[in-house]
Amino acid sequence: MSAVKRVGATRREKAAATRERMLRAAIEVFAEAGYVGARMADIAARAGVAVQTVYFVFHTKPELLQACFDYAVLGPERLVPPEQTPFREIATARSGRAALRALVAGNTAILERVATTDEVARAALHEPEAAAVVKNSERLRRDGYRDMLATVAERFALRPGLSLDDATDILLMYGSSATYLSMVRAGWSRDRFEDWLTDTLARTFLARPGR
């Protein structure tokens, strides 16, 4: 019985490893060829699998692009789950600035993985399928940002006159892939980016930005 269970686990592990290899290959091919230029056959070749395997797992190129987003945002299975990332510190931080630093740290870790794929998808907004993936990603990002900012507002208060919706809109701009890539390509380190964004958000959002 234990031998049977072990075979099943090994098959799942192999399937997960193959899926991750295809996703990594897709991210690379999308970055090199763009969404329109990327071919499923090229992705399969990069991953070392038959093209039928790519279609069997992801069905269509839009579904594969969405899976690349999900993989980049959530991380591969070996990465820690969200509740063990810096985001968890938002609810326990002892100051508004510390809560925003936790938000920025968690968001930057995601941006490091997703920024290139996001840029590729946005360059193909004329393609309805790519536009739908971007729209879904932005909806999820807005919901996540709003929930985190609601916790910050409840615990430390936003500056007078700043609504939660407006704060979310501002964070969508500052915490975007475009902002991150602009700074990184200008030569900024991750630490410098996080320090700058934390300071910027504290001054913009908090009733007491120094605390």
Domains and CATH numbers, the chain: 2-59 (1.10.10.60), 82-205 (no CATH)
3-state per-residue secondary structure call for the chain:
CHHHHHHHHHHHHHHHHHHHHHHHHHHHHHHHHHHHHCCHHHHHHHHCCCHHHHHHHHCCHHHHHHHHHHHHHHCCCCCCCHHHCHHHHHHCCCCHHHHHHHHHHHHHHHHHHHHHHHHHHHCCCCCHHHHHHHHHHHHHHHHHHHHHHHHHHHHHCECCCCCHHHHHHHHHHHCCHHHHHHHHHCCCCHHHHHHHHHHHHHHHHECCCCC
Whole-prediction pTM: 0.85
Share of the chain above pLDDT 70, in %: 90
Q: Quickly count: other Cβ atoms within 10 Å of residue 202's Cβ.
A: 21
Contact 62, 163 (CB under 8 A): no
Place of tokens 């991953």: 47
Kindly report, residue by residue over 145-179, the tens digit of the pLDDT. 999 999 999 999 999 999 999 999 999 999 999 99
Asked if 118 contacts 137 with a C-beta cutoff of 8 angstroms, the reply is yes
For residues 211, 103, 118, 180, the Cα torsion angle rounded to the nearest 10 degrees is: 40
Predicted pLDDT of residue 31: 95
pLDDT digits (tens, 9 = 90+) for 82-129: 555 678 889 999 999 999 999 999 999 999 999 999 999 999 999 999
